[in-house]
Structure 1
Amino acid sequence: MSHLDRRRGRVRAAAVMGAGALGLALAVTAGATLLPPSAPSPAAPVAGPASAGRAEVPLSPAGAAQTVSSLRERLKRLPKDHQAWAALGAAYVQQARITADPSSYTKAEEALNRSAALAPGDFAVLTGRAALAAGRHEFAVATGLARQAITANPYGAAAYGVLADARTQLGDYAGATKAVRRMMDLKPGVASFTRASYDAELRGDVREARRLLEAALRDAFAPEDVAYCRYYLGELALRSGDLQRAGQMYDEALRAFPDFVPALAGRARAEALGGRLDRAAAGYADVVARLPLSQYVVEYGEVLLKLGEDPGEQWTLLRAQKQLMAANGVRDDLTWAEFEADHGSPAEAVRHAEAEYVKNPNMAAADALAWALHKAGRSREALPYAKKATARGWRNALAYYHRGTIERALRRDSRHSFTQVKDSNPRFSPTMPALARFS
């Protein structure tokens, strides 16, 4: 059987799973502290897509299922245990992230509603609802709920984590930094150090981002935590063009936790950027079969295009995911703005990008809107958004490439922007833009 046949078989398997991409899904750290003694604790964070930041979810689908099962058994015996209902809601939010199935959000909502009926002002309920809102990309709602949770319990670090994630998506970077610092004061550890690392990275301080990830790694004991930290150290290396270091970190992540899908995706990404496209395609086929997140599906499709193969099955899977997400209350305009600008309709890209930017005026949304407007022939309108996307020093080669291309189209001086592309990531490939987006 050829590698193409194997890939097609895996794509069909992924489609049968009926999974949906989650885009910017965020989960709540509170689940671990809320679980009753009889239930296993959720594991540490998993990687999220482009602008999601670094939020906690269990890494193992089996572990997530066990957590849900244990909580459901407890609630059969103690149906008025509001903390168990809240923990079940948090577990479902987390399960949505690791299975790429947004139908778990509906189950989370039901569980959190049960908990709220028993204890409407409880910290765990409010934090869980904030995480659910964030998972559905309702970041303004998530911010309000997280603030209510903090009012209920000013010492609850989990709510500050959700608040930091939501503020980042809303483009309130100063507010996100403040929330991250408070989280670190309350509970220094993997969850807070990794968020602080992401915050530093968005400021362009890659050295500080690496230092904080190394601090998180020193604090990591569970294999899942170690894998997570190693993975993001790999991502930092990859985005600076150091494929050897990136590959080493991905391998170490997989040695710590062999089923960590983001590290498998990292390997495939490194193979693609290193020009080993057949190996990259085989890797992505495995990744998409395990976890068909939109980012992985688009990356796989771009590798197939680079190989001269038809990515149609991937685009079909992506559109099926869109429908499944919408049916479960998740709207991911950012993914579709990026996809349509690169592989579809510029007009549709503008529509999605404008909708995303109105809700979440962050740097990723500004970059998406700039590129969509440029592809639609509206480069003059695009330039202010391209400038906003690069204004804070974020070392994102793709954003600088977009800005430089827009400047060149307007006959402006683009040398600085294209220099920043090379300085940020010498391995950047404009023919595979999804591989350059932050994971």
Structure 2
Amino acid sequence: MDEQAEGRRPRLVRRVLITAVAGCAVLGGALAVWPWERAAAPRPVAPAPAPGAQALTAVTAGVPAALPDLAMLIAGREARVRAHPEDAQSWAVLGTAYVEQGRRTADATNYPRAENALRTSLKVREKGNAAALDGMAALADARRDFRSARTWGQAALKLRPKRWTTYPLLMDAYTGLGDYKAAKKTLDRLLELHPGAAVVRARAAALYRDRGWREDAAAALSDAAAAAGTPAEQAAWLERSGQLAFERGDLEEALRRFQAAVRLDPDQRAAQAGEGRTLTALGRTTEALNAYRVALDKQPCPQYALELGELYESLGMAEAARAEYDVLGTRVQDEVAGGVDDDLVLGVFEADHGDPRVAVRLLRAEWGRQPGTEVADALGWALHMAGDDKGALKFAMAATDRAHGGAVRSALYAYHRGMIEQELELAWPARRHLQEALRINPYFSPLRVPLAKQALAALGDPPDEPLPAGGPSAGDE
């Protein structure tokens, strides 16, 4: 159960997410509104912000920004640094805005621009430039260079220990490096410094999710969405909330969250990909294909191409699947040219759809650089596909064993471990983990769910005899 640890820590107050009222839109057969959509007392109308002002506030606070506002901010800062090349602060803002634009559009050509702007800021003002150090940490996180992100973030904190915007960047770095104790310690300090901000609650939710505290993660994201300052920020937290709902197999809730995110911010392509994922599970294949295509067209992320390719493959459309896998390869090349470390997604692709030996090589190198839970799971699966099941089990256990940081409730991780154990003829733990995968999320993958069911059928019912001493298998949780 993922709530076993709940009694050992303070509980977040759970919000009521849906309130029945007359005259509201019908969602899932009930009249409902989200808390952040409820009527409020009229407030004085504030003057319209200057073009790009909302994006400036968002970028300097590490908050998701709307793409049109971001474009205006970038244009304004480009003009500013052309006229005033010694303005270190504007160079720092410009570099950080490029990072956000690259992240939102999956256009890695923004990252070299960002690095140039941020290094110029540091050159212009070498001492006391925490904003540029934060920008470098954000850039490194976006490129999946978590060691560099940690270095830049720690340098920023050494300069200004109470600068709260640095802490979320360090949390991402520590999580990517598999240092979950440091991530938790960083969150604790962040909550001391700035407990009420929506972005802080969202960061807390990410850590709760990684520790298997799904209810706390959902509550924190609900709070973040309710407290968001802009539609783009609110849409980002709704998208993450939709991810959580999908991960626990609550398809209707996931779809509502993703659709609400897209209504608030039509450029929220991660939510559109989430719609595709959820519509696939609901059997609404045509709509799922359309959602994925729109997401990929506007935000050509390799992960979306992989998911769309696997959807085509599950439908028996091999040629269409290969076309998407070719898109993935092209996008990886583009991102690598922008300095992004894409070995994880490329290794995952090679393990299932290419050359598992290439996958093992890529993922071993990735594990050496940044040994997080995602990499442990991917490397374990690549070793299994390459025929090294004993080596594979060690990494599969690291991804699913709380003692090694693998506390996240992931159907995919449990599936991988169960399939590896089946190949090793460890029937008890194999059956247990395959059943767990389908309990966590019976819809986790259009390709793998049928394989999990087939494997369980092949294992059959457990024999009518006592469990082995010590549990289902040695080393099992």
TM-score, normalising length from structure 2? 0.78
1:294-373 map, 5 Å = 294-309=302-317, 310=319, 311-373=321-383
Superposed displacement of residue 38, structure 1? 7.2
Q: Aligned partners of 1:183 and 1:58: how far apart in 2?
A: 21
CA offsets per residue over residues 337-379 of structure 1, 9 Å max, x none?
A: 1111111111111111111111111110000000000000000
Relative to structure 1, is the Cα distance of residues 221 and 173 closer, same or farther in structure 2, using a 3 angstrom cutoff?
same
Q: Aligned partners of 2:266 and 2:246: how far apart in 1?
A: 20
Structure 1: which 5+ runs fail to align? Answer: 1-35, 47-54, 434-439
Residue 41 (structure 1) aligned with residue 54 (structure 2): yes
User: What stretches of structure 1 move > 3 A for 4+ residues in a row?
Assistant: 36-39, 43-46
CA offsets per residue over residues 200-225 of structure 1, 9 Å max, x none?
A: 11111101111111221221131112
Q: Aligned partners of 1:356 and 1:173: how far apart in 2?
A: 18
Residue 143 (structure 1) aligned with residue 143 (structure 2): no
Q: Aligned partners of 1:397 and 1:406: how far apart in 2?
A: 14
Aligned length: 389
1:416-431 map, 5 Å = 416-429=432-445, 431=447
Match of 2:188 among 181, 185, 195: 181
Structure 2: which 5+ runs fail to align? Answer: 1-48, 450-477
Q: Aligned partners of 2:64 and 2:369: how far apart in 1?
A: 25
Aligned to 1:406: 420
Match of 2:160 among 147, 153, 158: 153
Relative to structure 1, is the Cα distance of residues 257 and 43 closer, same or farther in structure 2, using a 3 angstrom cutoff?
farther
Aligned to 2:5: none
Aligned to 1:100: 106
**Letter aligned with residue 335 of structure 1:** V
Residue 203 (structure 1) aligned with residue 208 (structure 2): no
| Greater RCO, 1 or 2 (C-alpha within 8 Å, sep 6+) | 1
Q: Aligned partners of 1:43 and 1:407: how far apart in 2?
A: 51
Tell me if structure 2 keeps the 8 A contact 1:44–1:228: no
**Letter aligned with residue 329 of structure 2:** R
RMSD: 2.0
**Letter aligned with residue 105 of structure 1:** Y
Superposed displacement of residue 75, structure 1? 1.6
Specify the SS of the correspondent of 1:41.
helix
Specify the SS of the correspondent of 2:86.
coil
Q: Aligned partners of 1:361 and 1:424: how far apart in 2?
A: 24
Superposed displacement of residue 312, structure 1? 2.2
Aligned to 2:87: 81
Superposed displacement of residue 423, structure 1? 2.2
Moved more, 321-330 or 372-381: 321-330
Superposed displacement of residue 276, structure 1? 2.0
CA offsets per residue over residues 225-276 of structure 1, 9 Å max, x none?
A: 2212222222111111111111111222223223321221111111111122
Superposed displacement of residue 331, structure 1? 2.2
CA offsets per residue over residues 279-309 of structure 1, 9 Å max, x none?
A: 2112211111111101111111111112222
Relative to structure 1, is the Cα distance of residues 43 and 353 closer, same or farther in structure 2, using a 3 angstrom cutoff?
farther
Moved more, 268-277 or 167-176: 268-277
Q: Aligned partners of 2:399 and 2:84: how far apart in 1?
A: 50
Q: Aligned partners of 2:443 and 2:424: how far apart in 1?
A: 26
Aligned to 1:394: 408
CA offsets per residue over residues 78-123 of structure 1, 9 Å max, x none?
A: 2211011111110111111112111111111111111111112311
Moved more, 345-354 or 304-313: 304-313
Q: Aligned partners of 2:102 and 2:408: how far apart in 1?
A: 29
Tell me if structure 1 keeps the 8 A contact 2:310–2:446: no
**Letter aligned with residue 399 of structure 2:** A
Relative to structure 1, is the Cα distance of residues 113 and 45 closer, same or farther in structure 2, using a 3 angstrom cutoff?
closer
TM-score, normalising length from structure 1? 0.85
Aligned to 2:13: none
**Letter aligned with residue 274 of structure 1:** L
Q: Aligned partners of 2:217 and 2:70: how far apart in 1?
A: 29
**Letter aligned with residue 419 of structure 1:** Q
Relative to structure 1, is the Cα distance of residues 388 and 45 closer, same or farther in structure 2, using a 3 angstrom cutoff?
farther
**Letter aligned with residue 276 of structure 1:** R
Aligned to 1:243: 251
Relative to structure 1, is the Cα distance of residues 315 and 221 closer, same or farther in structure 2, using a 3 angstrom cutoff?
same
In our comparison, the structure showing a higher alpha carbon Rg is 2
Tell me if structure 1 keeps the 8 A contact 2:279–2:285: yes
Q: Aligned partners of 2:300 and 2:411: how far apart in 1?
A: 25
Q: Aligned partners of 2:260 and 2:395: how far apart in 1?
A: 38
Relative to structure 1, is the Cα distance of residues 161 and 132 closer, same or farther in structure 2, using a 3 angstrom cutoff?
same
Relative to structure 1, is the Cα distance of residues 180 and 42 closer, same or farther in structure 2, using a 3 angstrom cutoff?
farther
Residue 273 (structure 1) aligned with residue 281 (structure 2): yes
Superposed displacement of residue 45, structure 1? 8.7
Specify the SS of the correspondent of 1:71.
helix
Aligned to 1:12: none
Q: Aligned partners of 1:99 and 1:128: how far apart in 2?
A: 18
Q: Aligned partners of 2:58 and 2:83: how far apart in 1?
A: 30
